């Protein structure tokens, strides 16, 4: 079932090593068919060089495996929480890309300091709080999803305007209108994290981009009045 979606999610997963967003098996991508109430996700611990479209696992919105001989990603419950709460999301990517993880480990938002960032993310990319001992020891992956949702609620953020987050001491999750869109956002997030790191090394007092510059660059690519690119 969902053979076309499996192919799409497989191709999105294969972009992670090509874009240098993962080492070994440190990442996963999923995509959802909301009309069917199921999503497709990478199997746990399978090397990208060995991964085949037929290896992908189909999971329903209760977290049950519907199709697949392999165990789904250990992050499946995190994806499930995001899909349930952010209803416009149709693809999710998770990596342990080093620049994003650096901000994650430091407990720092990735600040909007340039137009490269502003083209894709409408504001600072947030970092979550640390999970508690109880949250880690009981339903860790589900609670990882919960703390993502909590962060968006506490900060009054829109998952449409901010399509990514860094989980404290863990790593980034990004999403979008498809699996490939989620991977695109993962690469942008990693690139701007690297840029910000170098910027702050050169000048720790560097200023964030002004709101009017953020508005200009984000809105010229997104929204009703966007004019970037071809029709």
Q: Which residues make Cβ contacts (< 8 Å) with residue 66, sequence separation at least 6?
A: 1, 38, 58, 59, 60
The catalytic residue among 109, 119, 140, 160 is 119
Instruction: Say whether 212 is catalytic.
Output: no
pLDDT at residue 221, rounded to an integer: 95
Beta strands 27-33; 91-95: pairing state: antiparallel
Q: What is the pLDDT of residues 104-137, one digit of tens each?
A: 999 999 999 999 999 999 999 999 999 999 999 9
Q: Which helix (H) or strand (E) holds 40?
A: strand 38-41
Domains of the chain from N-terminus onward = 3-219 (3.40.225.10)
Cα–Cα distance, 3 to 25 (Å, whole number)? 23
Q: What is the pLDDT of residues 125-182, one digit of tens each?
A: 999 999 999 999 999 999 999 999 999 999 999 999 999 999 999 999 999 999 999 9
Place of tokens 């984000």: 218
For helices 140-154 and 76-85, give the axis angle rounded to 10 degrees: 30
pLDDT at residue 223, rounded to an integer: 84
Residue 231 predicted with pLDDT over 80: no
The catalytic residue among 154, 210, 215, 228 is 228
Cα–Cα distance, 9 to 16 (Å, whole number)? 11
- The dihedrals phi and psi of 181, each to the nearest 5 degrees, come to -65, -40
pLDDT at residue 160, rounded to an integer: 97
pTM of the model: 0.96
With bands split at pLDDT 50, 70 and 90, how would you rate the model's confidence at 56? very high
Dihedral angle sign, alpha carbons of residues 59, 64, 66, 69: positive
Compute the CA torsion angle 53, 32, 47, 76 (nearest 10 deg): -140
Instruction: Say whether 228 is catalytic.
Output: yes
Residue 7 predicted with pLDDT over 90: yes
Residue 1 predicted with pLDDT over 90: no
Give CA separation, 1 vs 9, 56, 80, 148, in Å. 13, 11, 19, 30
Residue 38 predicted with pLDDT over 80: yes
Give CA separation, 149 vs 38, 82, 107, 211, in Å. 20, 7, 17, 25
**What DSSP designation does 125 have?**
B
């Amino acid at each position: 079932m969902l053979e076309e979606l499996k192919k799409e999610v497989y191709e999105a997963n294969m972009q992670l090593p090509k874009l240098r967003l993962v080492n070994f098996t440190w990442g996963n991508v999923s995509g959802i068919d909301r009309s069917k109430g199921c999503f497709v996700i990478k199997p746990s611990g399978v090397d990208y060089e060995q991964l085949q479209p037929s290896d992908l696992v189909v999971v329903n919105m209760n977290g049950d495996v519907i199709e697949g001989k392999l165990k789904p990603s250990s992050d499946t419950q995190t994806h499930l929480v995001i899909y349930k709460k952010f209803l416009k999301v149709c693809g999710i990517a998770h990596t342990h890309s080093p620049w994003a993880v650096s901000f994650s480990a430091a407990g720092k938002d990735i600040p909007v300091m340039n137009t490269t960032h502003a083209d894709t993310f409408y504001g600072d990319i947030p970092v979550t709080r640390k999970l508690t001992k109880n949250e880690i020891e009981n339903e860790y992956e589900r609670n990882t999803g919960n703390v993502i949702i909590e962060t968006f609620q506490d900060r009054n953020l829109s998952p449409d305007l901010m399509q990514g987050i860094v989980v404290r001491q863990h790593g980034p999750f990004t999403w979008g209108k498809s699996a490939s869109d989620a991977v695109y956002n993962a690469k942008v997030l990693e690139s701007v994290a690297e840029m910000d790191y170098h910027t702050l090394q050169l000048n720790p007092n560097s200023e964030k981009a002004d709101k009017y510059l953020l508005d200009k660059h984000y809105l010229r690519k997104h929204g009703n009045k966007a004019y970037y690119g071809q029709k």
